[in-house]
């Protein structure tokens, strides 16, 4: 029996498209890297789902900047890609990431932000 994505999550997620912006560097097939701004689709203390226009390989470790908005901060984290799902032919993908490397002060800001959603 396959587990649903919800069964695999440790933390409760808030299903909301939020004004935070996530930017990360993606390595293209050509070998060039570029910054990819995208929006969050749901958020938890341990990770988030983002919307992007290219696939990212499972297990990839990506440095990310998360802009929480003018009342909060921009935090830097490293995240592991846990799943990637193509949702249309545009192409558009949902990517689920787990936050794996967040310094203590950024983690406190992130937790407070999620609790206030």
The CATH number covering residue 39 comes to 2.40.10.220
pTM above 0.85, yes or no: no
Domain assignment present for 1 = no
Question: Domain range for residue 82?
Answer: 9-115
Tens of pLDDT, residues 15-69: 555 556 777 766 655 555 556 677 787 888 999 998 888 888 899 888 888 888 8
Q: Output the CA–CA distances (angstroms, integers) from residue 94 to 44, 63, 81, 105, in the order listed.
A: 15, 17, 11, 28
* Dist. CA 102–CA 27, nearest whole Å: 22
Q: Are 81 and 56 contacting, i.e. CB atoms less than 8 angstroms apart?
A: yes
Domain assignment present for 4 = no
């Amino acid at each position: 029996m396959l587990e649903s994505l919800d069964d695999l999550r440790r933390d409760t997620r808030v299903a909301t498209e939020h004004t935070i912006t996530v930017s990360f560097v993606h390595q293209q097939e050509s070998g060039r890297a570029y910054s990819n701004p995208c929006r969050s689709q749901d958020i938890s203390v341990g990770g988030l789902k983002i919307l992007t226009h290219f696939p990212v390989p499972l297990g990839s470790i990506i440095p990310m900047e998360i802009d929480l908005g003018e009342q909060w901060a921009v935090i830097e984290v490293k995240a592991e890609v846990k799943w990637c799902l193509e949702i249309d032919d545009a192409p558009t993908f949902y990517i689920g990431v787990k936050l794996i490397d967040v310094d203590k002060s950024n983690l406190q800001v992130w937790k407070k932000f999620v609790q206030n959603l």
